[in-house]
A and B are shown apart, each in its own frame.
Chain A
Amino acid sequence: MMLVASVTFVLIRQAPGNPLATTFAGQALRANAAAQVGLDRPILVQYTDWLRHLARGELGESMVFRGQPVRALIFDAAAITLQIAVPALLLAAGLALGGAVLAAAASGRARRWAGGLAVLGIAIPVFVTAPFLALVIGVWLRVLPVAGYAPGDPTYLLMPILALALPLAASLYLVSTQALEEVLSHPSIRTARAKGLGRLHTVTGHAFRAAAIPVLSFAGPLVAATLLGSVVVESVFDIPGLGRVFLDAMTGRDYAVIAGTTLVTSATVILTNLVADLSYPLLDPRQGMTRETG
């Protein structure tokens, strides 16, 4: 996590452009502004200063949004992103896992159709589905706000959640169905079927639990995809969340905010992977046992 944030800290300073390039006209004014935000110091000094702040739980001040603490900027925005990301993940999981179970119990033709739909869901990028939803539901039908965010009003979140959830559900569906198919071809499942257990009962009662492990290992990439998708969704729907903060920071070369958001998002993905790893023994007790050799 620190490695990711540190590499970002260095690399972004090597990229063309800087936080002051488009704001301050003239080299004298820019030099003065650089001194005010500490950009005139050697990169090593800036880095150690950043680490010192980090040890105190601070992320420094924004270089573009004058005087604003990065921590507050990120956490305020993250609180809004969570209101979209968590329901989107739950919705995606519900759609994908429910669909996978039904598909496993259904005929081959239905499975092919569902698989085709899922591939389509992945192939159509969120920057196409999100404006399409906004146009149809927001502008033509006018049943939901076309964009914007109002604290306490969930109607503004429904379309962003849906737009974010659809491609996630499609990816998760494909992973789930593949895992289920592998489990269903296992001899123990064939034995259960031979004993007269129904296909749906076999899937829900026996195969689903075994198939959950490969699905769980997909949690990390899924959370990463959610955070990535939120950049587009928040831009299309005018949501002042973490995705928009990151996009603004990248555009304005706000080094402090870029390093802060990278740290927070990489921490989120790593934490998700950790929780997933720790959950394996709950689903399959053999995963927690020490195997004796020899």
Chain B
Amino acid sequence: MLRLALVFAMGLMAPTSVLGAERSLTLALPAAPLTLDPHQISTSPEFSVVLDLYEGLTSYGPTGDIAPGIAASWSVSGDGLTWTFQLSPHARWSDGTEVTAADVVEGFRHMLDPGTASPYAGFFFAINGAEALNNGTGGREGLGVEAVAPDRVDIRLNTADPAFPKTVALPAAVPRPVGRSSDQVLYNGAYMLADVRANDSYRLVANPHFRNAASVSIQEVVHMVVTDPNTCIRRFRVGDVQVCPYIPTDLALSLSDELVPQRHIPEITAAFYFAANTQRPPLDDIRIRRALNLALDRQVVSDQVLGGLMPPLYGVVPRGVEDYVTDPPRLDFMGRSPFDRQREARQLLADAGIDPENRVKLVLAHSTLGDDAALALYAADQWRALGVDIDFAARDFSAHYAMFDEDRDYHVATFGWISETRDPISFLELFRNDGAYNKANRTTGQIDQLMAQASQETDVTSRAAYLAQAERDVLDSETVFPLMNVRLVELVSDRLSGWKETETGLRLTRHLSLAP
């Protein structure tokens, strides 16, 4: 009654939902896409939109597995260095013209061109001439991507990569039309961009020329920017959006009863760590690093700090990777009692001259986003009892991650990582001494040689064995304190079907359907 009275008093109609038809879906994006150029994207919201608009040689199936894209089939040469992709005769651009091998070649050349500044260019440096093209020392013609026939592409690698079909599913590897009018933007994915309201919403409609258009159930999808998770939950409750892709842990644990059944917690291939700065005293002393590592109880972190939503992590490589050993290396103290671990930690610190009477102060840098602050507080609490005091250095997301490349003003720093390719290398790469990341600021260990050997190896089992040795090397150096396997908490309408758990967190709208 009150509601009716208010409607009439204000002279308003009840709001109409964004949903216009049964086959229209609205998905929330936690941030605005910065670009929709597939060769320039890098963030999750951009992936969500662009994967609906374009597809590469390979694509993602309903559960995130690698499936045919514009290539109907592919094979690799005996030495593992040349991949041949046979294009599907049904692959079309949105104007109805065929997607050709020349389009594929142009796509790779454009993406690797230094002028494009593609954030994902580094993923393709295994291709002959890719790194040289990208850093300006080589030309486009030298790139090892060749149209050997109008419907066949050969890609030559400088090192074998069994996971290469996963790499070419990334949006950075989509083709680029050549020889067409430049004023028309063409798409080769299941949808075409129909309407953009900058920084607000992106309306996509089904592409009638998509190679598998008949299988597409949802005819219109609106990707809507909803930056505040609280707002997303409210919009979800009234039916404005059918999916909220990112719900922070604290909100996920306090959802109302009506929403809990629609809460999804898929496990993705992602990890969260503390990195120890090995170049900054006193953490150049491995005894102190090990003591700090020992003091963290991963099960307590999982159960009490994170409400049981994130499983504990005892290695560098999280769950969900492919082509890896079945029994990966783990922290050697996994399974030991808290009392036992604390005793060893105290002894190690005492040997290094630190105890509750002779305290030391460390800087713990963390991002203000997500669960970083809660984890930092937990760690500080554990370490304080051992004689280690903490100065917190909280920075916003951008400043925190820039710190790893700028002043490295930390003893211990939080950071998370996600892999779209589910390759263990994605995580081990972070700790190479000579790599682009070197999160722990390391200079020791065998990891560089082991990673180089793995990259030369064509046999999947042998490659995995080298990578496992590299992981053991990182763990033994006590430079990284693994904490948790990251999960995404999402709200998904119970009207939506086909929303399967995917290890990469990447989903294509064309695999979904919506009940009226």
Known: A238-B231, A240-B200. A143 touches B10 (CB 8 A): yes
Which residue from B115, B230, B437 sits with its C-beta under 8 Å from A26?
B437
Which residue from B13, B121, B234 sits with its C-beta under 8 Å from A29?
B121
Q: Does B395 contact A (CB under 8 A)?
A: yes
**What residues on A are CB-neighbors of B40 within 8 Å?**
66
Known: A22-B401, A29-B122, A32-B117. A143 touches B234 (CB 8 A): no
Q: Report Cα–Cα, A144/B13, bound state, in Å.
A: 8
**What residues on A are CB-neighbors of B396 within 8 Å?**
17, 251
Q: Report Cα–Cα, A131/B402, bound state, in Å.
A: 33
Contact pattern, A 236-268, Cβ under 8 Å of B = 1, otherwise 0? 111010001100100111000000000000000
Contact pattern, B 1-32, Cβ under 8 Å of A = 1, otherwise 0? 01100110010111100100000000000011
Q: Report Cα–Cα, A71/B251, bound state, in Å.
A: 37
Q: Report Cα–Cα, A29/B111, bound state, in Å.
A: 12
**CB–CB A253/B398 < 8 A:** yes
**CB–CB B225/A238 < 8 A:** yes
Q: Report Cα–Cα, A25/B405, bound state, in Å.
A: 10
Known: A147-B234, A240-B225. A23 touches B436 (CB 8 A): no
Q: Does B250 contact A (CB under 8 A)?
A: no
Q: Report Cα–Cα, A289/B135, bound state, in Å.
A: 69
Q: Report Cα–Cα, A238/B230, bound state, in Å.
A: 11
**What residues on B are CB-neighbors of A149 within 8 Å?**
197, 200
Nearest residue, chain B, Cβ from A141: B3
**What residues on B are CB-neighbors of A65 within 8 Å?**
32, 34-35
Q: Does B79 contact A (CB under 8 A)?
A: no
| CB of B169, distance to nearest CB on chain A (Å) | 18
Q: Does A152 contact B (CB under 8 A)?
A: no
Q: Does A16 contact B (CB under 8 A)?
A: yes
Nearest residue, chain B, Cβ from A31: B135
Q: Report Cα–Cα, A148/B201, bound state, in Å.
A: 10
**CB–CB B42/A24 < 8 A:** yes
**What residues on B are CB-neighbors of A138 within 8 Å?**
234, 238
Q: Report Cα–Cα, A289/B35, bound state, in Å.
A: 57
Tally of chain B residues near chain A (CB < 8 A): 55
Q: Does A11 contact B (CB under 8 A)?
A: no
Q: Does B327 contact A (CB under 8 A)?
A: no
**CB–CB A145/B15 < 8 A:** yes
**What residues on A are CB-neighbors of B198 within 8 Å?**
68, 73, 76, 240
**CB–CB B35/A144 < 8 A:** no
Q: Report Cα–Cα, A252/B397, bound state, in Å.
A: 9
Tally of chain A residues near chain B (CB < 8 A): 56
Nearest residue, chain B, Cβ from A34: B117
Q: Does A13 contact B (CB under 8 A)?
A: no
Interface residues of B in 151-188 (CB under 8 A from A): none
Q: Does A110 contact B (CB under 8 A)?
A: no
**CB–CB A66/B436 < 8 A:** no
| CB of B282, distance to nearest CB on chain A (Å) | 24
Residue from A25, A30, A145 with most neighbouring chain B CB atoms (10 Å): A25
**What residues on B are CB-neighbors of A26 within 8 Å?**
122, 436-437
Q: Does B479 contact A (CB under 8 A)?
A: no
| CB of B437, distance to nearest CB on chain A (Å) | 7
Q: Does A21 contact B (CB under 8 A)?
A: yes
Interface residues of chain B, those whose CB is within 8 Å of chain A, are 2-3, 6-7, 10, 12-15, 18, 31-32, 34-35, 37, 40, 42-43, 114-115, 117, 119, 121-122, 134-135, 197-200, 224-228, 230-231, 234-235, 237-238, 240, 395-403, 405-406, 436-437
Mind listing 14 A-B residue pairs with CB under 8 Å? A16-B399, A17-B398, A18-B402, A24-B42, A29-B122, A36-B114, A66-B34, A66-B37, A142-B15, A146-B235, A235-B227, A238-B231, A244-B227, A251-B397
Interface residues of chain A, those whose CB is within 8 Å of chain B, are 15-19, 21-30, 32-33, 36, 64-68, 73, 76-77, 131, 134-135, 137-139, 141-149, 151, 155-156, 158, 235-238, 240, 244-245, 248, 251-253
Known A143-B7, A147-B226, A148-B235; further 14 A-B contacts with Cβ < 8 A: A17-B396, A21-B398, A25-B119, A25-B437, A29-B134, A29-B436, A32-B117, A131-B230, A138-B234, A147-B231, A147-B234, A149-B200, A236-B228, A238-B225
